[in-house]
Chains A and B, each alone.
Chain A
């Protein structure tokens, strides 16, 4: 696999061999799915594929129908899941206790691993997850420059607009936010660079490894890694005096209070939220109030766009102003 050494390194030996034989291009690989006792699947260039024991990659549909020529499908063993988990956690599952509780962990490179197994409860809350048998490895891709077309919408004179990126899961909002941070931090299109504070709760934006960002977030960006968004935003404002703050996947009242606090302190806010339409976001009680207040100056709606080989993610469907009126895009 070209360029995917980080991912190959964390896969169990048997699965690593399959991925190497399939000679995949890392930039098209979106997801890998491991389920103990079931076939090994991947999402590649918008389509689902399975792997044969011979290392050949075949469409998942033909694998399911049982007419994949060239041999039997590779069935992921429990040992392979365990081995992959050991590599993912650097043999130290205890260090990811909090992440296990939430059901995911982030590894070097910003790749996010979702996991499922048997939940262990304590006083009605999830304490940890044992017998982990399902892994979903979502690959993070940096696409430098992908937010450049949006830059004219992000500035009003020399100030950055409070912007909310809205998209369903897997449509590239984190990638787009990361690039927006990078461009604003470095300064583009004649705008001066600005200091930005990033509250990176799930280590997806900066993908910090031992405190150092592995992704390029620009030269004026400070990152508070692994810290709850609401607390992180407030702490950044108090300690690093940023001009702009950014956070991924805001949603709770606490998050939105922190966002409002940032606005009151004179900081611009860049954030993302799950949703398919502006109305859906408006329908969420926590967002309804802040939208009524006209806090956000821009709403950017993302989605997938059908193309010949599959789906293109990160497609900007519409840009709205603070009153929810669509703006002309592209300008």
Chain B
């Protein structure tokens, strides 16, 4: 009987932990989207007021942003310096696949980012800034809807975790 109780407690605790980690992941996505929005502002500022090249702007962003983006932007800057017969869009894509693999962004978020990479390096500053502004707006829409859903989703994952643990315990007993 004691063993059964210990087993039940273990199941409930682990299922609750899974629920909480899923809830944390949703919150993590929100934080990453907020950070990304800040980065787009920073990039726009570097381009508009500093007339920086993307190589310099990415370097600055890498120094001023936190994980997971610091690795991504320093990777972009380093790869651009190599001049190894690849386009910026290709470098951006490979960075997205390797350096932001562990990020909590969804497929849709990544699509928006991929488009940003494809539109980088325009002929004039105005178009470049508009491209970044458009991506910023799209991300803001995603962020806003996530913000509304966030408390509900977090609660849902938390309760689901606990309930799944209880359900599994009943089933096994």
- The reply to whether B55 and A94 form a contact with Cβ atoms under 8 Å apart is no
On whether A90 and B123 interact (CB within 8 A), knowing A13-B85, A95-B51, A95-B53, the answer reads: no
- Using a Cβ cutoff of 8 Å, how many contacts connect chains A and B? 55
Tally of contact residues, B, Cβ under 8 A: 22
Q: Is B122 an interface residue (CB 8 A)?
A: yes
- The reply to whether B123 and A130 form a contact with Cβ atoms under 8 Å apart is yes
A91 interface neighbour in B51, B88, B127, Cβ under 8 Å: B88
**Residues of B close to A90: CB separation below 8 A:** 53-56, 80
**Residues of A close to B14: CB separation below 8 A:** none
**Residues of B close to A87: CB separation below 8 A:** 83
Mask, B135-161, CB within 8 Å of A = 1, is 000000000000000000000000000
Within 8 A of A (CB), among B30-67: 47, 51-57
**Residues of A close to B54: CB separation below 8 A:** 90-92, 95
- Bin chain A's interface residue count: 10 to 19
**Residues of A close to B98: CB separation below 8 A:** none
- The reply to whether A92 and B85 form a contact with Cβ atoms under 8 Å apart is no
A94 interface neighbour in B80, B84, B87, B121, Cβ under 8 Å: B121
Which of A9, A12, A94 has most B Cβ within 10 Å?
Answer: A94
Distance of A97 Cα from B127 Cα, bound (Å): 12
Q: Is B118 an interface residue (CB 8 A)?
A: no
**Residues of B close to A9: CB separation below 8 A:** 83
* Residues of B that sit less than 8 Å from A by CB: 47, 51-57, 80, 83-85, 87-88, 120-125, 127-128
- Nearest first, the 6 A-B pairs at minimum CB distance are A13-B85, A90-B53, A92-B53, A90-B55, A91-B88, A94-B125
